Amino acid sequence: MAVFNQVEFDNHEQVVFCSDEQSGLKAIIAVHSTALGPAVGGCRLWNYATDDEAIVDVLRLSKGMTYKNAVARLPFGGGKSVIIGDAKSIKSEELFRAFGRHLERLGGSYYSAEDVNITTGDVMMMHKETNYVLGLEGKSGNPSPYTALGTFLGIKAALQHKRGNQDIKGLKVAVQGLGAVAYGLCKHLHEAGAELFVTDINQASIDRVVTEFGATAVGIDEIYDLDVDVYAPCALGATLNDNTIPRIKAKIIAGCANNQLAASRHGDILRDNNVLYAPDYVINAGGIINVYYETNPEGYNEAKSIKHVEGIYDTLLEIFKRADEENKSTHHIADELAREIIANGL
Ligand code: NAD
């Protein structure tokens, strides 16, 4: 097992291996960068097949948080943590408290929060041992409506750039996944007059948007073949791949899912196909922006949070414009912008 020679290693400032014999905790915390502020990023609980898999994931995800926080212009660096184990059997108060004590030892260079298989209740248990956690119950609350707002505004920015107007009325949008964020996105789109085509693996989620927003339900795989204006991936990662890209007819791809491109080259293929892609970590930053306002000394302020989330529209317009001017793909421009902000400050 090696760290420094992993492809994903990007001069991470600190990688910490943590354990606790009594609770069975095995965790890795990666602080990628604290250039703009304390590293912030969620904790993921996952049954990794090998320790190497866990290292690769935490290195990749923590770097992603540095870029995401920078482009969202938050005074946060990037970090992430993974707890290794089966979510069905390993969870206990002792485990999360042991993890909280490890966070405490880092002295505030990293703040954790929820991620896959970690609930706000689990974070509250970490909080019994440390203040270096965010996204707590009773503070900024559920981030999903803010992620939904940012994604809706991101679709508007893409329309503005591609068509020179932001007309949503009559716009055909395919939404893949109808979870916490996508429900809010569908609501915004429906209220603005869009026609929705939706899919999910959960029938109850489909029924809700069909009933409330007059959406048309389509099959899980059918979502890629629709003749629509916008494809909004809001479920899984890697849905933009060799199999799906040739089938997608939408000229705008803008959704909230993380890691939408199966590989970086798929962003280049989209550009070659004249498809405008809103880079995932830029358009889906509404939730982390809202969490930031929990750290305000005067307390959480929703109005300030919403104003900041609205900035996603301008950031995307800037990225789209630069991508055209420099003849590059939008995801490369987003990465360049992140590196510039990290180097020059907010
Ligand atoms: P969620 O778990 O509430 O929703 C995901 C939905 O996708 C579920 O309804 C699930 O049934 C559905 N789904 C799963 N597999 C599917 C498939 N093969 N086809 C169609 N639907 C499928 O999650 P969420 O919080 O709404 O997040 C959605 C995406 O946005 C995730 O990729 C997440 O990482 C990303 N994201 C969320 C936030 C946030 O604030 N919640 C912030 C940034 C990014």
Range 14-63+77-127 has CATH code 3.40.50.10860: yes
- On whether 135 is known to bind a ligand per the annotation, the reply is no
Residues 6 or more apart whose Cβ sits within 8 Å of residue 183:
144, 148, 205, 208, 209
Q: How many residues does the chain have?
A: 346
**Residue bearing the CA closest to ligand 1, atom 1:** 179
- On whether 150 is known to bind a ligand per the annotation, the reply is no
31 pairs with which residues across the strands? 14, 79
268: its two tokens? 């280049």
The fold of 144-344 is Rossmann fold (3.40.50)
Q: What pLDDT does 111 receive? A: 98
Parts of the chain belonging to CATH 3.40.50.720: 144-344
Parts of the chain belonging to CATH 3.40.50.10860: 14-63+77-127
Ligand 1 atom nearest residue 181's Cα: 26
pLDDT digits (tens, 9 = 90+) for 273-320: 999 999 999 999 999 999 999 998 888 999 999 999 999 999 999 999
Closest CA to 338 of 69, 110, 27, 154: 69
pTM of the full structure:
0.95
**Residue bearing the CA closest to ligand 1, atom 25:** 180
Ligand 1 neighbours by CB, cut-off 6 Å:
143-144, 147, 176-182, 199-202, 205, 220, 234-236, 256-258, 284, 287
In the three-class reduction of DSSP (H, G, I as helix; E, B as strand; rest coil), residue 60 is classed as helix
Q: Measured in angstroms, how far is the CA atom of residue 93 from the centroid of ligand 1? A: 26
Longest CA pairwise span in the chain (Å): 60
**Candidate of 284, 289, 291 to mutate for ligand 1, largest count of ligand atoms within 8 Å of Cβ:** 284
254 and 176 Cβ atoms separated by less than 8 Å: no
Ligand 1 atom nearest residue 280's Cα: 44
The tens-digit pLDDT sequence of the chain (346 residues) is 789 988 899 999 999 999 999 999 999 999 999 999 999 999 999 999 999 999 999 999 999 999 999 999 999 999 999 999 999 999 999 999 999 999 999 999 999 999 989 998 999 999 999 999 998 888 888 899 999 999 999 999 999 999 999 999 999 999 999 999 999 999 999 999 999 999 999 999 999 999 999 999 999 999 999 999 999 999 989 999 999 999 999 999 999 999 999 999 999 999 999 999 999 999 999 999 999 999 988 889 999 999 999 999 999 999 999 999 999 999 999 999 999 999 999 9
**Residue bearing the CA closest to ligand 1, atom 29:** 257
Return d(Cα 111, Cα 188) in angstroms, integer: 31
Residues marked as catalytic: 80
pLDDT digits (tens, 9 = 90+) for 86-98: 999 999 999 999 9
Return d(Cα 235, Cα 188) in angstroms, integer: 18
242: its two tokens? 């060799």
320: its two tokens? 């789209």
Q: What pLDDT does 19 receive? A: 98
Return d(Cα 135, Cα 137) in angstroms, integer: 7
